[in-house]
Structure 1
Amino acid sequence: MDNTKVTVVGLGPMGRAMAAAYLDAGYEVTVWNRSAGKDTDLVARGARSAPGIAEAVAASPLVVLSLIDVEAMYGTLGDADLTGRVLANLSSDLPDKARAAARWAEERGAAYLTGGVNVPPAGIGREGSSIFISGPREAYEEHRAALDLLAATDYRGCDPGHAQLYYQLNMILFWTAYTGWYQAVAVARANGLTASDILPYAGYTADTLRGFYTESAALVDAGDHSGEDQRLTMCAASVEHILHTAADSGVDTAILAAHAELYRRGVEAGFGDESSSRLIQLLAAEEA
C-alpha cells in the first residue's frame, strides 16, 4: 500500500492548509469539496481534483476529512465505497458523535480515526503544533507519519471519542479565556484605553495561568481544597469588583454576572474559608 497518497475532503481554510502541507512533503494529493472552486490553487500546485466523492475516496488509502462537524461526514461520503480505507476525521464535534461515526465507518469496512486539531490553519505543518488522535492503534500507526506532517500527533487511545474529549477540554479553556479578553477590551475601551494598551498585562496574566493550573491540579486530584492562598470569599469579592467595574463602565455584564453567581453559590454552600477549587464540586454536582 502506498502511504504517500492521501485524499483531503473539505477545503475550507483548514482543509486547504492540510492539503498544502501534504503537497509540500511530496505526497500524491487528491482533493474534493462539495462546492466547486476551492481547489484551484492546490491543483495548480499539483493536487488532483477528483470528479466526485467516490473517486476521491478510491484514490488513497488515507482519507482526511476537514468538515464543519462529524454529522457532515455522512452526507459528504454518501454511498462511496469505504472498504479498506482509513478515515481520519479531523472535524470538531462531540465525543459521542465521534463514537457513532466510528461505528458507521466500521460497518462500511473502514477504520476510523478521530482528531482534534489544536492549532488554526496557519499552524498546520509548523513545529509546536499538535493534534489529538484516537481510534484503532493499528490504523494510527500505519498512517502516523502522514498525520504527523500536519502536526505532532498525541495518541489518546483506541476510544474514538477520547480525541474529541481532550480537544473539547482544551476548547473550554481557550474560549472562556479568549472571551475574557474580549470582555476586558470592552471595559478598557469604555474607559478610554485600547486593546494595545492592556496587551502587555493580558499577556502576563495568560502566562501566570500555567502556574495556577500546575499548582492546583495535584491538590484537586488529592481532594485538598484548603484555602490558604485563595480563599473562596476573597475570590468572590474580586469577582464582584470586576462585575461592578464593568457595570459602571456601561459594558454588558452577562458573562461576569454568571461568574459572580457561581462564586456566591460557593460561599453560600459553606465553602468560603476553603479554596476556590471547591467550585468544581458545584459545577460537577458532586457530593461533598
Structure 2
Amino acid sequence: MTQNTVEKTPVTILGLGAMGAALARSWLAAGHPLTVWNRTPARAAEFAAEGARVADTAAEAVAANTLTVVCLLDDTSVDEALAGIDLADRDLVNLTTGTPAQARARARWARDRGARYLDGGIMAVPPMIGVPEAGGYVFFSGSRELFEQHQETLAVPVGTAYVGEDAGFAALHDVALLSAMYGMFAGAAHAFALIRNEDIDPATLAPLLADWLVAMAPAVHRTAEQLQRGDYTEGVVSNLAMQVAGTPTFLSTAEQQGVSPELLTPYFELMRRRLAEGGGEEDLTGVIDLLVR
C-alpha cells in the first residue's frame, strides 16, 4: 500500500448495481481503500480482484469505515440493508433514488441512531461516472459539516453540488430537473411523431430540434425572475392570450398527421384556464400557480 493510498479516505459502499459499481471503481482508481457489500455476493467478488475488501454482511461493511455510501434500489432496500446495524458515529451518504419525504425521514432515522447523514441525487448515468468532462454531478443535502468534511472524496467519481441543510432538497432538485427532462422528451416525441409518416428523415430533424431546445432553454431564467417578483407580465415576448390563440393550429396539425395530441392537451388546458382567469397579458409563468393550488 503506497503512502498516497494511506492518505485517502476509506470508503464503504453498499450496493453494486450499475451505478454503485461505477462509483466503486472510481474510488478504487483514485486510491481510496474501499469496502464493498452487495446483496448478491457474486457481484461483489469481482471487486476483490480490483483491490476492494468484500464484506460478507452489510453490518461488517459499515463497521469497516466511518464513511458509508449507500446506492441501492429504493428506500425499502435501504431499510432492509441497514436493519439492526450499529450506526453510531458513522457518516451515512445515501445516493439511493427517493422522494424528499423519504430523505427527511431517513435523516431523522440516521440521527436517532447516532449517525450523520447526507442525501444525494445523482444527475448522471453510469457511463458518466469517473469522466469529469461528461458534466455529471450529484446534489447533496443534509449536514453541511459532513459534506464539507467529505467533499473531496465525494467529488472523486462525479461533481458535487450542495443544496442545503434540509435533507429533502437533494431529492427535490433531482426530481425537479428530471421532471423537466421528461417534459422535454415528451415534446420531442410529439415532434418526431408529426413527421413519422412523411418523407422526412428523423436524422435531419434532430439537429434542428436540438438547436431549438437549446435556444429556448434560457427562458427558464425569465420564469424564475417573474416568480421571484410576482409579476408575470415583465419581459413578456409572446403573451398568454397570443399563445392560446395559436394552440388550435397545433391540435389540427396533429389530427391531420394522425398523431394523438395527448402529450400537448394537458398543458394547453392549463394555458386556457389561466387565460380565463384574466392572465392574458402574462407570460406562461402563471400556469405554475395552477399546478400548486
Alpha-carbon distance, 1:2 to partner: 7.2
Confirm or deny that 1:229 pairs with 2:237: yes
Which residue pairs with 1:256 in the alignment?
264
Written as runs of structure 1 = structure 2, the 5 A alignment for 1:108-257 is 108-127=113-132, 128-226=135-233, 228-257=236-265
Which residue pairs with 1:270 in the alignment?
278
Pair 8,281 (structure 1): closer, same or farther in 2 beyond 3 Å = same
Which residue pairs with 1:9 in the alignment?
14
Alpha-carbon distance, 1:3 to partner: 5.5
Contact 1:271 / 1:278 at 8 angstroms: preserved in 2? yes
SS in 2 for 1:160: coil
Confirm or deny that 1:71 pairs with 2:76: yes
Alpha-carbon distance, 1:192 to partner: 4.0
Contact 1:30 / 1:59 at 8 angstroms: preserved in 2? yes
- More divergent stretch after superposition (210-219 vs 146-155): 210-219
Structure 2: any 5+ residue segments left out of the alignment? 1-5
Pair 32,193 (structure 1): closer, same or farther in 2 beyond 3 Å = farther
Tell me how far apart the structure 1 counterparts of residues 118 and 15 of structure 2 sit (CA, whole Å).
Answer: 16
SS in 2 for 1:114: strand
Tell me how far apart the structure 1 counterparts of residues 30 and 47 of structure 2 sit (CA, whole Å).
Answer: 14
- More divergent stretch after superposition (199-208 vs 221-230): 221-230
Pair 180,147 (structure 1): closer, same or farther in 2 beyond 3 Å = same
Pair 274,92 (structure 1): closer, same or farther in 2 beyond 3 Å = same
Tell me how far apart the structure 2 counterparts of residues 174 and 217 of structure 1 sit (CA, whole Å).
Answer: 17
Contact 2:226 / 2:285 at 8 angstroms: preserved in 1? no
Query: 1:63-101 CA distances to partner (integer Å, 9 max, x unpaired)?
Result: 111122233211111212212111100122111110100
SS in 1 for 2:41: coil
Number of positions where the alignment pairs a residue of Structure 1 with one of Structure 2: 285
Tell me how far apart the structure 1 counterparts of residues 119 and 138 of structure 2 sit (CA, whole Å).
Answer: 10
Tell me how far apart the structure 2 counterparts of residues 210 and 18 of structure 1 sit (CA, whole Å).
Answer: 30
Contact 2:8 / 2:33 at 8 angstroms: preserved in 1? no
Written as runs of structure 1 = structure 2, the 5 A alignment for 1:25-104 is 25-104=30-109
Question: 1:149 is aligned with what amino acid?
Answer: V
Which residue pairs with 2:3 in the alignment?
none
Tell me how far apart the structure 2 counterparts of residues 238 and 18 of structure 1 sit (CA, whole Å).
Answer: 48
- Runs of 4+ residues over 4 Å off in structure 1: none
Pair 82,194 (structure 1): closer, same or farther in 2 beyond 3 Å = farther
| TM-score normalized with structure 1 length | 0.91
Structure 1: any 5+ residue segments left out of the alignment? none
Alpha-carbon distance, 1:40 to partner: 4.4
SS in 2 for 1:167: helix
Query: 1:25-68 CA distances to partner (integer Å, 9 max, x unpaired)?
Result: 01111111112332344333222221111111112211111122
Pair 17,237 (structure 1): closer, same or farther in 2 beyond 3 Å = farther
* % same residue: 35
SS in 2 for 1:201: helix
Tell me how far apart the structure 1 counterparts of residues 35 and 259 of structure 2 sit (CA, whole Å).
Answer: 49
Question: 1:57 is aligned with what amino acid?
Answer: V
Tell me how far apart the structure 2 counterparts of residues 133 and 102 of structure 1 sit (CA, whole Å).
Answer: 13
Alpha-carbon distance, 1:193 to partner: 3.3
Question: 2:10 is aligned with what amino acid?
Answer: K
